Amino acid sequence: MLEIKNVTKKYVFKKALSDVSVSFPRGEIVGLFGENGAGKTTLMKSILGFHSFEGDITLDGQRISPKNIAKISYATSEHSFFPNLTPAGHREFYSEHFEGFSEKRFKGLMEFFELPMHKPLRFFSMGQKNQFEVILALCQGADYILMDEPFAGNDIFNREDFYKVLLGILEPNETVILSTHLIEEVSEFIGRAVLIRCGRIVGDIGVSELEEQGKTLMSYIKETYNYRADRVSRALDEISGEDGK
pLDDT mean values, one per 10 residues, the chain (245 residues): 96 91 95 92 94 95 93 89 95 94 95 94 91 93 93 72 86 93 87 95 94 92 80 70 56
Asked if residues 77 and 148 have their Cβ atoms less than 8 Å apart, the reply is yes
DSSP, residue by residue, 186-229: HTTT-SEEEEEETTEEEEEEEHHHHHHTT--HHHHHHHHTT--T
**Partners of 15 in beta bridges:** 10
pLDDT at 210: 93
pLDDT at 229: 65
pLDDT at 77: 80
**Partners of 172 in beta bridges:** none
pLDDT at 147: 94
Q: Which amino acid is at 125?
A: S
Rounded CA separation 185/37 (Å) = 21
pLDDT at 12: 83
Residues 6+ apart with CB under 8 A from 160: 185
